[in-house]
Amino acid sequence: MDISEENNIHQRAKIPVGERLAILALANTYGVKGFPRGYPTFQAMEVERNRIRVRFENTGNGLYIECDNVNKLMIAGGDHVFHPAKGEVTPRGELLVSAEEVSCDCKSLDLE
């Protein structure tokens, strides 16, 4: 989650959470136009050599991040040992996840 505090279910920044819930209620419960009906959710994942391509639905005007890279991702190869990974958003709104330590051409990679 982009606004959560790790290991704290009572986060300090309550306003952004309230705003998001209000937007969902306006769009889904009251049918107010101009608000997203949902937020990006996992759609599919493809393994491409030593990286994972993740696709999302409900991306509206596209998937974007507010920093240089996506952190707090982990990826594992055929040995199932997880390593910190980097993520980048493609122009098509997909997330590419990879780690230098994972360099196998295997049929499955694990994403955490």
Domain ranges of the chain: 1-38, 40-111
Residue with tokens 């507010």: 66
Buried b (16+ CB within 10 A) or exposed e, 28-67: eeeeeeeebeeebeeeeeebeebbbbbbbeebeeebeeee
What's the average model confidence in pLDDT over 70-88? 83
- Whose CA is closest to 57, among 43, 78, 44? 43
What's the confidence (pLDDT) of residue 110? 57
Is 1 a residue whose pLDDT tops 60? no
Q: pTM of the full predicted structure?
A: 0.69
What's the average model confidence in pLDDT over 17-28? 91
Q: How confident is the model at residue 7 (pLDDT cuts 50, 70, 90)?
A: confident
